[in-house]
């Protein structure tokens, strides 16, 4: 049975935080699911939860932003098993199209083969870039 996809809400914290924690630990990332992030992404209209009969299977966190030329939708995190990842990627694409946001960008860690396959099945194509990041303040010192 295909997973059900619905918008993410702050009430999903207990279900999504462990999924995000496992994904982050496996791929060497900082976890991103917090009550504050779910409030933010829940308002975006572009973030979704995939559910099966036993609860949450995965999630996609995305938001649109303006960069001066036109809006861009940024997929910040896609965490799901293969059977749900494609449905989540498709939901993000549809939400962007419905909102008139036609530029989509996603960054995934190199080791996320499931995420890469899901994005490619939704029409995303890899591009050559070098991504830099920096954390300031006390959070940066801890990293």
Which domains are delineated in the chain?
Answer: 4-142 (3.40.630.30)
pLDDT of residue 2: 84
**pTM for this model (two decimals):** 0.92
143 residues of the chain, pLDDT tens digit each: 689 999 999 999 999 999 999 999 999 999 999 999 999 999 999 999 999 999 999 999 999 998 888 899 999 999 999 999 999 999 999 999 999 999 999 999 999 999 999 999 999 999 988 888 888 987 666 65
CB 115 within 8 A of CB 92: no
Which token pair is 19? 């999924």
Q: Which one, of 66, 7, 71, lies nearest residue 42 by Cα? A: 7
Q: Write down the H helix ranges in the chain.
A: 13-27, 35-44, 82-98, 113-121, 137-142
Q: Which one, of 30, 46, 31, 36, lies nearest residue 10 by Cα? A: 36
């Amino acid at each position: 049975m295909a997973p059900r996809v619905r918008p993410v809400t702050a009430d999903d914290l207990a279900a999504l935080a462990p999924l995000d924690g496992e994904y982050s630990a496996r791929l060497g990332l900082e976890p991103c699911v917090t009550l504050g992030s779910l409030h933010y992404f829940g308002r975006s209209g572009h973030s979704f939860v995939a559910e099966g009969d036993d609860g949450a299977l995965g999630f996609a966190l995305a938001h649109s932003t303006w960069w001066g030329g036109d809006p861009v939708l940024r997929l910040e995190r896609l965490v799901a098993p293969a059977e749900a990842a494609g449905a989540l990627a498709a939901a993000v694409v549809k939400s962007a199209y419905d909102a008139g946001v036609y530029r989509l960008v996603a960054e995934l860690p190199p080791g996320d083969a499931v995420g890469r396959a899901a994005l490619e099945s939704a029409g995303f194509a890899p591009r050559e870039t070098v991504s830099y990041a920096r954390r300031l303040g006390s959070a940066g010192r801890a990293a």
